[in-house]
A and B are shown apart, each in its own frame.
Chain A
Amino acid sequence: MIYLDNAATTCPKPHAVTNAMVNAVLYNCANPGRSGHDMSIKAGELVYSAREKASELFGLSNAQGVVFTKNCTESLNIALQGLLQNGDHVVTSTLEHNSVIRVLESLKTAGKISYDMASVYADTLSTVSSFESHIRRDTKMLVCTLASNVFGTVLPIAQLSQLAQNYGLIFVLDASQGAMTIDMRKLNIDVLCLPGHKGLYGPMGTGLMLVNSTVKPMPLMYGGTGSYSQDRAQPKECPDAYESGTLNVPGIAGLCAGIDFVKKTGVDNIAAHERRLVSYAEHELKKFSGVKTYASECPEKTVLSFNVGAMHSEQVAALLNENGIAVRAGYHCAYTAHSFYGTERTGTIRMSPGVFSTPSDIEILLKNVYKIAKGSK
């Protein structure tokens, strides 16, 4: 299988990730933060080590601000539902995933908040102006994705963060997609939400919410934390406030190894490798008659969306799958992004390479797309 669906989840995972998970089950299979015996303490050390590594990688000064969740969607739900109050207004972008849009829409439908979507343009100034034009007196938060999961368009995060700061808004970043170094201190990010199983090469079922001391979301889930047991109220301390119930220790062990792998390989090296493959695919696909690629204005993209003639993207993806190529088609849980790019009728085929993808994987994809394009006429 030629796997070009890394934006959905990276595959394969580094061997170190698998080994760390197996070792956690074999040797650290105790409940951290609950008991006092050696194995529980050891499991707790493993979990804390993962918090430290995540906080170091993303420039968060306090490892206690690292919260483990089951995915980025959960992180975003805590950040949005936990911080927004009745009457608040939010500005977001047209390129958001449903993990942001549906949360906002549900809060809006409940009559709690209102929100506006800013357009994203090829030039930074127009994008920032679009965001600024939606800021109102009651705006409390600016939430956006680092990059579109469909088209790879990278948002001008530094400028948007500055905008949020200028207006005293909470800045929440969804870093599910896009490959770049993120420093929460430098970028003044209040809450950073990430999946553990994509760019961090950890296992599925892991996510992160990194919370700056500037904000304190209300938890979404309540229960046992191993701390303050005499108190009927949920602890206010981070991360306990958000981590009720037993943690996914094998998953966190894998995520910790994934972070090590990313640090060792280098975020910039991984990004450059993915960009090279995407750029090559884009350059070649543009030569094929009947094939349309998207977001050519964004050279930093690490995913590529395209269509073949008038075929529905799902048909093309099915044909590619028959030839052993894994890509994602359809609407990618981001219909507003498709509306923005005018691809609502067919969706798009998205190819997303990862660190283990090779130029020969792209060659095989190209050959197959060429065949499909030729046959579609």
Chain B
Amino acid sequence: MCCMYGEYIKFGSVTSAQRAQKILEANGIASKVGKNPSPKQTEGCGYALFVHSDAANAVRMLSARGIASKGTGKVNVR
């Protein structure tokens, strides 16, 4: 379902991801909340915000509003 989205931003909790989603939405960036598709062992369970592209730009936007993310990744479409 998240395959239409090319990249994702990782968050510690679902609430953080949801808050980030609202901010991106207010800035015209569509996204979708889902589970972190490839968490590292050190990250445990977590959620991600899937965006079409340019996750780095979205991270900058969120960071400017004091919202920390846990990194980005690219959706692996097989």
Contact = CB atoms under 8 A, between A and B. Distances in A.
Interface in A57-87: 62-64
B44 interface: yes
A229 B12 CA distance: 10
Interface string A35-59: 1101001001100100110000000
Contacts of A33: 13-15, 47
A235 B13 CA distance: 9
Given A235-B13, A237-B13, A41 B34 contact: yes
A237 B43 CA distance: 14
A246 interface: no
B41 interface: yes
A33 B46 CA distance: 9
B19 interface: yes
Interface stretch (A122-130, A138-146, A220-228, A319-327): A220-228
B19 A41 contact: no
A34 B33 CA distance: 12
Contact of B16 (A41, A45, A230, A237): A237
B38 interface: no
Contacts of B46: 227-228
Interface string B1-43: 1000000000011111011001000000000011100000111
A240 interface: yes
Contact of A41 (B12, B13, B33): B33
Contacts of A230: 41-44
A297 interface: no
Q: Name the interface size band of chain A.
A: 20 to 34
A32 interface: yes
Contacts, number: 65
B56 interface: no
Interface in A291-323: none
B44 A231 contact: yes
A239 B19 CA distance: 12
A228 B15 contact: no
Contacts of B15: 33, 48, 51, 63-64, 237, 239-240
A229 B14 CA distance: 13
A66 to B, nearest CB: 9
Contacts of A228: 12-13, 43-46
A34 B45 CA distance: 8
B34 A36 contact: yes
Contact of B12 (A36, A48, A51, A235): A235
Given A33-B13, A230-B41, A237-B13, 10 more contacts: A36-B47, A64-B16, A227-B12, A227-B45, A227-B47, A228-B45, A229-B45, A230-B43, A230-B44, A231-B44
Interface of A: 32-36, 38, 41, 44-45, 48, 51-52, 62-64, 225-231, 235, 237, 239-240
Interface of B: 1, 12-16, 18-19, 22, 33-35, 41-47
